[in-house]
Structure 1
Amino acid sequence: MTKLLTFLSLTAFALGFSQNFNPAQYPKGVYETYEDFRTKTPSASPNLSSAITDDQIAFRFNNLDDKGKKLKKAFAVSDGQNVYIHVVNLIKKFNSEDKGQGYDGGIYYLKAENKGGYLFVRDYFTSNSAAMWGGIIAAAAARRTKGVIYDEEKESFNLFKNIEEFKTFMQVNHPNIVLDLEKGKGDAKLDEGEIEAKNLELIKSA
């Protein structure tokens, strides 16, 4: 019975997603609120630096508002080609089942990419309960990128907490996709977020 309820829940979860994300639909500028982001209407158009990153995960901007101050709490930023979502605001829009995730800390944005039509981001999310009960060592061991996709209809961001949850999502929503969940080895080894991105891309050729 539990498995059936889980399946039905994930079916509803899957069917709610929009698959038409296009960063070009977001004019260049700063989207201070979720409503600005939802309606694709920037609330400010400051001079933006190029996105700065050391790891292709955390992006920062030397962007200034009309008072000469850095915008630190904007929901999202578009540089005219790509969309970047503030990590804290992203977590605030997690659905109720995905709460309780920690992140690396600091002020940064995650690059939103089109993966199989979905708005997809990834970051080093760690369960707060793992850190609480297992301490720093357990939290470090659990640290890995996890994928997140946007459910426009439900106005929330949905986290794949583990690869099994992603696998079930794909089997329910895209049963014709032959999944490749191999991590690889050595320098080519992928973590969960990368595996999820790779498999979402298969939707385009299905």
Structure 2
Amino acid sequence: MIKKIILILMVFFNSEIYSQNKSYFKSGFYKDLIEFDLRTSSSNSDFKANKIKTTLHYRLKYKSGKRIKSPFAVSDGEKLYIKTKSISDNLSNDYWIILSDEGSVYSIASKINDKLIYLEEEELGKTIAFIGIATAKTRGIIYEHETKKFTVLKKNSDLFDFLNRNSPELIRQYCIENSNDKVKIEFLRKIISHIFNQTTSPSKVFE
């Protein structure tokens, strides 16, 4: 029951994705990190995204029904899906382990602007993932065009470093300490919303 409530709240927060501005990632298949970072797709095809129950992940399929596995990211012109394993393989910090189906599941972006992409994932510790007996923690993940890396914003120090690179004035405004304390997802969402409302024109902010 508790897990269902958490998932409902996460879906409510991520509902902003459904008005994602089309100018950031045009419809297409982004085969690798280079195309993803340049936001230029080399191919396109009709596809369908199916939400996997009790998780934040999606499975993508071609019109023929064949599962999409290889592209780094896929966009329908409104929503951006990033292969979960691609995120894991391009992390700047080592917090997160993916439990996926042969690397063929995709995560969905919540917010995008010219320099940043924000999404949320479920973090599983390596021991927990191996024995499979604990509830995953929701973590915010940010992709920075400048570093070409994804960063799990798990600790205050991760958030501090990210803000120092992008919005240093928010460190003082939100009293962020450079510590190992965990970042609460609700608090992180406030800061992320602030950043995207501050750095993006109104027509490009997810409503």
When the two structures are superposed, what TM-score results if normalisation uses the length of structure 1?
0.65
Instruction: Kindly report the root-mean-square deviation, in angstroms, between the aligned alpha carbons of the 2 structures.
Output: 3.4
Q: Give 1:25 deviation, angstroms.
A: 1.9
Cα distance in 1 for residues equivalent to 2:153 and 2:69: 27
Moved segments of 4+, more than 6 Å: none
Unaligned runs of 5+ in 2: 1-19, 177-182, 200-207
Name 1:78's counterpart in structure 2: 75
Residue 118 (1) aligns with residue 116 (2)? yes
Residues 176, 51 of structure 1: CA spacing in aligned structure 2 closer, same or farther, 3 A cutoff? Answer: farther
Unaligned runs of 5+ in 1: 1-20, 181-190
Residues 103, 192 of structure 1: CA spacing in aligned structure 2 closer, same or farther, 3 A cutoff? Answer: farther
SS where residue 114 of structure 1 aligns? strand
Cα distance in 2 for residues equivalent to 1:89 and 1:23: 22
Q: Give 1:170 deviation, angstroms.
A: 7.0
- Structure showing greater radius of gyration is 1
Match of 1:101 among 93, 96, 105: 96
C-alpha contact (below 8 Å) 1:58/1:108 kept by paired residues: yes
Cα distance in 2 for residues equivalent to 1:198 and 1:51: 28
C-alpha contact (below 8 Å) 1:122/1:193 kept by paired residues: no
Q: How many residues align?
A: 166
Q: Give 1:74 deviation, angstroms.
A: 1.1
Residue 41 (1) aligns with residue 40 (2)? yes
Name 2:190's counterpart in structure 1: 198
Name 1:185's counterpart in structure 2: none
1:72-97: CA deviation from partner (whole Å, max 9, x where unpaired): 121001011011110001111112xx
SS where residue 94 of structure 1 aligns? coil
Q: After superposition, where does 1:2-151 map in structure 2 within 5 Å?
A: 24-55=23-54, 57-63=56-62, 69-95=66-92, 98-99=93-94, 101-106=96-101, 107-114=104-111, 118-128=116-126, 130-131=127-128, 136-137=132-133, 140=134, 143-151=136-144
Residues 179, 119 of structure 1: CA spacing in aligned structure 2 closer, same or farther, 3 A cutoff? Answer: farther
Name 1:8's counterpart in structure 2: none
1:7-32: CA deviation from partner (whole Å, max 9, x where unpaired): xxxxxxxxxxxxxx966321101111
When the two structures are superposed, what TM-score results if normalisation uses the length of structure 2?
0.65
Highest RCO, 1 vs 2 (Cα 8 Å, sep ≥ 6): 1
C-alpha contact (below 8 Å) 1:76/1:86 kept by paired residues: yes
Give the aligned residue type for 1:30.
Answer: F
Cα distance in 2 for residues equivalent to 1:44 and 1:115: 21
C-alpha contact (below 8 Å) 1:111/1:121 kept by paired residues: yes
Residues 54, 166 of structure 1: CA spacing in aligned structure 2 closer, same or farther, 3 A cutoff? Answer: same
1:54-107: CA deviation from partner (whole Å, max 9, x where unpaired): 357212222259xx8432121001011011110001111112xx1252123223
C-alpha contact (below 8 Å) 1:64/1:70 kept by paired residues: no
C-alpha contact (below 8 Å) 1:145/1:192 kept by paired residues: no
C-alpha contact (below 8 Å) 1:150/1:157 kept by paired residues: yes
